[in-house]
Amino acid sequence: MIHIACNIDANFTQHCAVTLVSLFENNKTADICVHIVAPGLPEKDQNILKSLAASYGNEVCFYFPSPELLANFSIRKFGKRISMATYYRCMFSAILPATVDKVLYLDCDIVILGDISEFWNTDLTDYAVGCVEDIGYDDMERYETLKYDSKYSYFNAGVLLINLKYWREHKVDEQCVKYFLAYPERIRYNDQDLLNALLHEHKLFMSLKWNMQDAFYRYGMEKKIEHWPTLKQDLESPVILHYTNKKPWNYDSMHPLRREYYTYLDMTPWRGKRPLLSLKNSLLRFIKLLPYVLKLRKPKYMKL
């Protein structure tokens, strides 16, 4: 059984559905249980997610923790597009059943484009998480703020293979609360900073293909990535594609693989929904892209 966890609120049900359908479509032989942690979801939304999972022979379980569980946290950055639900991932060891020893956490701005069994079967003995380096790993200010050595680097918290057994033994959920209360001024990127501050010495870095972030597709990355030829292959066929910047449902997204999102959207009840069906959005996109078409601005993304 592969255990998947997602944090959402009602604003993200559509995107969660896309993530799950892409997972199910590309892992049809796997037995999957999805754990949805939310402050609350309309029954209609719950039924949609349950029905999608059931159509592939999988199941969804819902958890609606008390608001008091997150009472000691607050959103520090991106408050307009990030809800308090983001901190649920810090509390999985307290929320999910004790019988679940490992879970793969996925943000819901993700599509799964391949088999995740290799990632899932990673041996995490003595590690808290299996993860992928964040695009902002070279931001020295983060290490100065979080008070740890940059040699440990910095991971992206949007895809985490979590060793729940380790988290329970080391009371990671309690550590998160204590750290946030003691050093709120250090936390800028919400739970991602918090988890890096606590787990930087207890993580296992994995291949970038398990969390292919937006900025890896941008011009200039070939100068920053040590093993560029290998990464270039993964860019064209990532297993987990993570839209960490502009989302594909934003009218001005220029991500070279943004259409992958719509491939799976059309397998959900939101089939056919597109931002550019709006005349206003189409006009705004035209204005946004015109300088690039006229070559007045350099393109942001590499051609694959």
Tens of pLDDT, residue by residue, the chain (304 residues): 999 999 998 899 999 999 999 999 999 999 999 999 999 999 999 999 999 999 999 999 999 999 899 999 988 766 566 788 899 999 999 999 999 999 999 999 999 999 999 999 999 999 999 999 998 888 899 999 999 999 999 999 999 999 999 999 999 999 999 999 999 999 999 999 999 999 999 999 999 999 999 988 988 877 777 666 777 778 888 999 999 988 999 999 999 999 999 999 999 999 999 988 889 999 999 999 999 999 899 989 988 7
Neighbouring-strand partners of residue 59 = 33
Q: Which residues contact 60 (CB under 8 A, 6 or more apart)?
A: 20, 33, 34, 35, 36, 46, 49, 50, 53
> How many degrees, rounded to 5, is the angle at CA 275 between CA 271 and CA 276?
110
As a whole number of angstroms, the distance between CA 14 and CA 8 comes to: 10
State the residue for tokens 């309309």.
42
- Tell the burial category of 218 from Cβ atoms under 10 Å away from its Cβ (0-12, 13-18, 19+): middle
**Exposure class string for 112-140: b at 16+ Cβ within 10 A, else e:** bbbebeebbebebeebbbbbbbbbebeee
Read off the pTM.
0.94
Domains plus CATH for the chain? 2-211 (3.90.550.10), 214-293 (no CATH)
**pLDDT tens-digit map of 43-100:** 999 999 999 999 999 999 999 999 899 999 988 766 566 788 899 999 999 999 999 9
Q: Please report the pLDDT score of residue 81 as a whole number.
A: 64
As a whole number of angstroms, the distance between CA 219 and CA 150 comes to: 25
> How many degrees, rounded to 5, is the angle at CA 65 between CA 51 and CA 13?
35
As a whole number of angstroms, the distance between CA 50 and CA 61 comes to: 8
Among candidates 257, 255, 234, which has minimal Cα distance to 246?
255
Q: Please report the pLDDT score of residue 303 as a whole number.
A: 82
* DSSP-based three-state secondary structure for 68: helix
